[in-house]
Amino acid sequence: MGIPVFVFAGLLVHCVFLASIFDIYFTSPLVHGMTPQQTPLPPPAKRLVLFVADGLRADSLYELDSNGTSRAPFLRSILENTGSWGISHTRVPTESRPGHVALIAGFYEDVSAVAKGWKENPVEFDSIFNESKYTWSWGSPDILPMFAKGASGDHVYTFCYTAESEDFGAQDAAKLDTWVFDHVKSFFNSSRSNQTLYSALNEEKVVLFLHLLGIDTNGHAHRPNSREYKENIRKVDEGVKEIASMLENFYGNDGKTAFILTSDHGMTDWGSHGAGHPSETLTPLIAWGAGVNYPQRVASQFFEDNFLKGIWKYVKMGMLLFAQADIALLMASLIGVPFPLNSVGTLPLEYLNNSAHFKAESMFTNAVQILEQFKVTKHIVKRGKESTILLYGFAFVGLIIAFFLLIQTCPWTYYVYCLLPVPVWYAVVKELHVIQDLAAYLLSLPVGQSMGFLLICVLGIEILVFSFFYRSTLTIGLLVFAGWPVITQLWVQAKTTALIWILLCMLLGIFPLMPVVGREPNIPLVIATGLLTLLISCSSLSSLCKSKNKYMNNEDLKVQFYQMLSIALSTYVVSSTHDSLQNKQGLPVFNQIISWTTLVSSSLLPLLSPTFLFQRLFSILLSLMSTYLLLSTGYEALFPLVLSGLMFVWINMEQEALQQYGLSLKPKLAVFNFSYATDIMQFRQLHLDDVRRSFFFVSFFVMPFSCFSSFDPASVYCFLTVFSPFMMGGLLVLKVVIPFVLVSCAFEAVQVTTQLSSKRYSKCYISALVGISHYVLVMSLTIFMMLMNGLAQLLTTKKLELSRKTKHHST
């Protein structure tokens, strides 16, 4: 027995050692919550043109041919006469995605990206593109969408060729670069007849990104010393010259354009990259134009690296050495955008042609930006050490409890009852600082305001309690909600939105006054609701088509069309089934098939729609309404429609309320994306408004339960008429749950758009529930809220792809 135990122990130890590598080194180093830092002085350039020649070796660009001429004569003339040149050091792995992240975002490889095969960053990050006013990019579908995905707004545009074009077996991959140059020219020519585009191109803080993949593809296929690789460099040089000339003419030679040409990584002699050989890690950089320094002639320059010595002998001018991540700061400084939040680079002052004051301010901004990351990291580490002490402390308490239960030979249920509060209170104490922050904020207010707030909280909780006994109490609560914009500044800020809020609150307040039992079916009202939903859907579809939203493609429009068709079929089935049952003809088989098909599809169709905020929420509404109509017999059919309308207005109203803290995302709300929001947003501290939002959520959440808690078998006649208690019960429960899902999805939107984590909101609304006196009800509602919160995150953030083919924004 000794040997197997020894072998098992050894195996366990080695598994722990193996897991430690992933725990230590394969955790993302990125932190969030920093404040953007920007140089306060006016920048030298209005626009930046970034050429990235993928896979271009530094020596291949700078060296001369056997006859003493350069294979890139235009770029050679730039570094000799008008611009600055140098060598940037990249880091392993020398792959395309890590290199571009270092260039454009300013930080080196996030090792957790190994799980993505170095193709995509698993954590969202800030970049020069995100901070720009507009960015237009052309090139590979493997690179461009990565930066468009992380952008917080509708201002990063990508134009990609198809993935099939990246063929290593092609005769000449230089056609990939020709595609880019041709499309850039066509794009600027078309802007002369498009006033909106022309105006955008003439804005400040504009970035044009040309990703040139031909050199890398030819290097893999033919090796860097091949004729194809060197000829591709010549074609890139010609293309850069044409683009630079075209842009100078387009902007009237205003002297406000900065140009940068560099590479993401180099390549070995045998056509590979990814490791740390100098031929892979040393990349060229040539900069010229607005704000860029002129070349510095020197008689000699000392290098410890023989590779660098070999490069310098071809140029014999001042060569600048810097890290690849420094380029992002150089670009930010040239056009005056905030430094990328996770940047670790140092601004290369030698490239700047500006005043000493500007350079000093830029360096100070660089230092503050690094300091911001340090502060956030320090806070995270500090909180982790508080957490560790608490963990050991509560674990010790748990052991003492278990010891006393053991010596008293108590049954196992005692262990559950006595030990369960330990992890619960650990979670509470761990987040005690959130409650302390809120308490400190309350104490900082005038006494009258603090007491008034506490009084309103107590009255609000009492209204919730009474609503479970007297449904009409909810009407009183909604009338109070209707007055919210009037007693605040929201009525002045957004009168139209506030007026719609008031009307919908009053309209929703009618439902608690309606009878739950003893009412006759009102099928015409159900049909009218279906037609009203169709009308709203048509209006939405028409506006999307007119707006030509670049994020909406034909597949997305088809999904909404199918949902509209489902609404129409549900309306027809309700009418047809009612008539058939009245005529004693039973439930038509066709109607039954349509009903069950609609029920199944309604849970999948939202996952096929875009994850942009309003588009996804509207898709969820249409899918759930198609099922809800089939389960309705009267006025309750209108309830989800009115409730959703109020939820949409609520999201907008919260954006108005956030403006007093300077955190509003209103201009970008239309393109706010659920799937990216969690990683990129900056979480903030609690405010009194967050308590109000949580109370709104609890009130909206309990309303469906209080209004429609009765079970009428007539509601399921579109699905089945043969008595089946479990099947009927399940369908009736589904009918009650649908409004809960709508409220939960809306609150998920409120959480991400108001920039507060769900954990902090959960503390607020659970605190509100604690005031409700019924223990079982509190426990049930809390569990149900957690389930609905998880379902809401699934419905809002996930998207199913029917086809594996990557989508590109191509011209």
pLDDT in tens, 622-658: 999 999 999 998 888 999 999 999 999 999 888 888 7
pLDDT, average across residues 14-41: 76
Q: What pLDDT was estimated at residue 541?
A: 81
Tell me which of 199-213, 285-299, 487-501 is least confident: 487-501
Identify the CA nearest to 219 among candidates 61, 51, 49, 75: 61
Residue 421: strand, helix, or coil = helix
Q: What pLDDT was estimated at residue 240?
A: 98
Of the two residues 248 and 68, the one the predictor is more confident about is 248
Distance CA 274, CA 93 (A): 5
pLDDT, average across residues 721-732: 87
- CA 283 vs CA 54, 56, 60, 207, 233: distances in Å: 10, 7, 10, 21, 14
Phi, psi of 348 (to 5 degrees): -80, 95
Residue 685: band (very low, low, confident or very high) from pLDDT cuts 50, 70, 90: low
Burial of 432 (0-12, 13-18, 19+ CB in 10 A): exposed
Q: Which residues pair with 37 in a beta bridge?
A: 339
Token pair for residue 226? 């091949």
Burial of 34 (0-12, 13-18, 19+ CB in 10 A): buried
Q: Which residue has the tokens 């293309």?
A: 239
* Segment 127-180, tens digit of pLDDT: 999 899 999 999 999 888 888 765 566 788 999 998 877 776 666 789 999 999
Q: Which residue has the tokens 């609890």?
A: 698
Which residues make Cβ contacts (< 8 Å) with residue 97, sequence separation at least 6? 113, 118, 119, 120, 121, 142, 143, 146
Q: What pLDDT was estimated at residue 680?
A: 40
* Segment 28-58, tens digit of pLDDT: 678 877 888 889 999 999 999 999 999 999 9
Q: What pLDDT was estimated at residue 36?
A: 84
Q: Is the pLDDT confidence value at 564 over 90? A: yes
Please say whether the dihedral angle defined by the alpha carbons of residues 563, 568, 571 and 577, taken in this order, is positive or negative: negative
Q: Is the pLDDT confidence value at 806 over 50? A: no
Angle formed by the axes of helices 688-707 and 638-658, nearest 10°? 180
Average pLDDT, the chain: 83
Q: Which residue has the tokens 């279906």?
A: 530
